[in-house]
Copies of this chain bind each other. A is one copy, B any other.
Amino acid sequence: MNDHNNFYSGKKVLITGGLGFIGLNVSQRLLELGAIVTVLDNFMPTDVSKPLAEVLGHIKVAIADIRDEEKVERVVRDQEVIFNLAGKSGAADSNKTPLNDLDVNCRGHLTVLEACRAFNPGVTIVFPSSRLVYGKPLYLPVDEKHPLAPESIYAAHKLAVENYHLIYDKLHGLKATVLRISNPYGPFQAGEGRAYGIANSFIQAAVSGRSITLFGDGSQRRDYLYIDDLVIALLRAASVPESRGRIYNIGDGQGTSLLELAEMAVAAAGQGSIVHVPWPNEYMAIETGDYLSDISLARHDLGWAPRAEIHEGIKRTVVSYQ
């Protein structure tokens, strides 16, 4: 990542949702690169681990919700790059409480963008969307031209927020890039009450000696992305000028079944077990089947490719939990 050194050294960078899993990993890397990091998040973790304390000691933290106009306006001023990671995750949840998802994810991000338009219209902003905007894949691997058919309110709102970023880029001068990310996993968490995705929850279960619950036979293949690779993709998206106004799939480009993932987690942890249960209706209704990213465009424009191999990534994650 030497190519980032010059770009981020001394740069003022804001990370919304910065105390989450992805945000902390981005912060850590940015500090190594000499950036001046501010984090905006709506809550401070109560159980502060050693690596977290280390990061917290070197960044500025603003505790506020992205829907809080005044605080957001104050924090976006003077920033050169924003990694706009805030938001509520959970596709199944969003279908139960769609108005809440709308408020956090759409109103929240419009508030961030309106603040940028008013106080920092030249800022570079990167938004991590989700592969869920594609819905059930019509072909594999899925490229960025695949039809969009979100199957949850969460995914519909991710798509709306993608469009907000691209519209503010065209109309108001922001330099926006959208990444459609697959399933990230890896070390470094902020503590209880945070969402980490399926791979981390499997690994956590195995490390704790608990059983991993698979819906059905676990044969669906997904595209698991090691966090370090995602961090590089985010940093490149902001530093490569060609990425402006564009959308990139970011995944590992390999497929792993949920069963294989669970088996790898159990093997790496040396404990834990796997149980199969029938599909709950609410998950079956939004199940998208196999998913695999076509990452050619990111490879070409961002010069990015995932480096971590999944066995290795899982081992490192297991070690971080032990």
Contacts and interface: CB of A to CB of B under 8 A. Distances in A.
Interface of A: 95, 98-99, 102, 106-107, 110-111, 113-114, 145, 147-153, 155-157, 159-160, 163-164, 166-167, 170-171, 285-286
Nearest to A113: B98
Most chain B CB atoms below 10 A, which of A111, A114, A153: A153
Nearest to A166: B149
A12 B148 CA distance: 34
Given A98-B110, A102-B106, A107-B102, A167 B163 contact: no
Contacts of A99: 107, 110-111, 114
B160 A164 contact: no
Contacts of A155: 163
A95 B153 contact: no
A167 B145 contact: no
Contacts of A148: 148
B171 A163 contact: no
Contacts of A98: 110, 113-114, 164
B164 A153 contact: yes
Contacts of A150: 163, 167
B156 A160 contact: yes
Contact of A147 (B145, B157, B285): B145
A114 to B, nearest CB: 7
Contact of A160 (B107, B114, B160): B160
A165 to B, nearest CB: 10
A167 B147 contact: no
A156 B151 contact: no
Contacts of A166: 149
Contacts of A159: 159-160, 163
A117 to B, nearest CB: 9
A114 B100 CA distance: 12
A102 B95 contact: no
Contacts of A167: 95, 150-153, 156
Contact of A157 (B152, B153, B160, B170): B160
Nearest to A171: B285
A156 B152 contact: no
A96 to B, nearest CB: 10
